[in-house]
Structure 1
Amino acid sequence: MFAQDKMIAKTGKITFEASVPSFEEVTAINHIGSCLLNSKTGEIACLVLVKGFRFKLALMEEHFNENYIESNDYPKATFKGIIQGFNSNIIGTTPKQFKMKGKLEIHGKKKEIDTNATLRKTDGGIEIISDFNVNSDEFAIVIPSVVSWKVAKTVNIKTEFLVK
């Protein structure tokens, strides 16, 4: 019975951006992630494999994995939290915003996140979209001084999952 309350997405879209105006775009997209939603409680858990981020330039991807995020040592990023006021009966085809709170873990460090999640029903399930900023310093991610003026410390993260 309890298993019926779980809605799962085995793939999603996670976008990472740390661009600085007038310099090369620092953006990556990842489709290697999963999300689990308890449709009764609004509890949510997401996992992303860090090596799944794809950049336009192979060198950026290499630096991201080896020098910044150290993906061999920290292979995944996770979020565990709750969508406050979640009730599947009030979600329709028109997007509806909810507050989402939880802990984001990146690079072995955890931080409380308080953001909005936009939910809507689709033919395939419930779409969950979030968009928030984090600071690289809060996750002990060191940006070398040689490129620090080309990479923003404030990183925008957008997530899109369709749970079924």
Structure 2
Amino acid sequence: MKYILLILTVCASINLSAQKYFTKTGITDFKASVEAFEPVEATNKSTTVILDTSNGNIAGLLFVKAFHFEIALMQEHFNESYMDSDMFPKAKFKGSIKDFSIDKLSETSKTFTLIGLLEVHGKSKPIEIVVNLCKKDSKILLTSMFGVKPEDYGIKIPSIVREKIAKTINITLDYELIEKK
């Protein structure tokens, strides 16, 4: 009897460990450009995301200073004047994918609703966005595009540049999640 319990415990723990997918190299882009002005855009290639495939819970974390701009001065202003990156070094997300089941995934992209709390600049706000998921080989690919407003997160845009920055910042997610072993 003890032998059977031991086997069941080992099988359950193997099954639980195989239910998480993650990345430490997820790509998060943002664009805050307005026509007629120079592009305001950056890329972060080190977003960490964990997806629990048993229930669709998902969490993400990125370091704000990891956003890379083509223009160094723009990056400096972003970190010091807008995002206060020393005071608020991370952006976080915690939520779940509605009606998620790994069995629904195939090589064809499927649309799901992602619901949760996005924390930026020390402020949390509920969000609901559309994500596209597919499973290729042993990876889960997650992509999405959505918008956020700086004022929703207490980010103040100085009046001198207010017309040069979009009122809604476009965020693009591109994550390749691998099975956590």
In the alignment, what sits opposite 2:135?
121
Tell me, yes or no, if structure 1 residue 100 matches structure 2 residue 114: yes
In percent, how many aligned pairs have the same letter?
42
Following the alignment from structure 1 to structure 2, what is the Cα–Cα distance between the partners of residues 46 and 162?
Answer: 13
In the alignment, what sits opposite 1:134?
148
In the alignment, what sits opposite 1:159?
173
Task: From 44, 56, 65, give the equivalent of 2:79.
Answer: 65
In the alignment, what sits opposite 2:159?
145
Following the alignment from structure 1 to structure 2, what is the Cα–Cα distance between the partners of residues 126 and 42?
Answer: 12
Deviation at 1:80, TM superposition (A): 0.5
TM-score, normalised by the number of residues in structure 1: 0.97
In the alignment, what sits opposite 1:5?
19
Query: SS of the counterpart of 1:13?
Result: strand
In the alignment, what sits opposite 2:63?
49
Q: Which has the larger radius of gyration?
A: 2
Query: What is the count of residue pairs matched by the alignment?
Result: 164
TM-score, normalised by the number of residues in structure 2: 0.88
Deviation at 1:3, TM superposition (A): 2.6
Query: Per-residue displacement from partner, 1:38-72 (whole Å, max 9, x unpaired)?
Result: 01100000101100101111111000000000111
Which of the two has greater helix per residue? 2
Q: Residues 124 and 162 of structure 1 are in contact (CA less than 8 Å); yes or no, is this contact kept in structure 2? A: no
Task: From 103, 124, 148, give the equivalent of 1:110.
Answer: 124
Q: Which 4+ residue blocks in structure 1 deviate beyond 4 angstroms?
A: none
Following the alignment from structure 2 to structure 1, what is the Cα–Cα distance between the partners of residues 24 and 151?
Answer: 30
Following the alignment from structure 2 to structure 1, what is the Cα–Cα distance between the partners of residues 104 and 47?
Answer: 27
Deviation at 1:102, TM superposition (A): 0.4
Q: Which runs of 5+ in 1 are unaligned?
A: none
Query: SS of the counterpart of 1:10?
Result: strand
Following the alignment from structure 2 to structure 1, what is the Cα–Cα distance between the partners of residues 71 and 137?
Answer: 36
Q: Which amino acid aligns with 1:63?
A: H
Q: 1:51/1:124 Cα in 2 relative to 1: closer, same or farther (>3 Å)?
A: farther
Query: Per-residue displacement from partner, 1:97-122 (whole Å, max 9, x unpaired)?
Result: 00110000000000111010100111
Tell me, yes or no, if structure 1 residue 27 matches structure 2 residue 41: yes
Q: Which runs of 5+ in 2 are unaligned?
A: 1-12
Query: SS of the counterpart of 1:144?
Result: coil
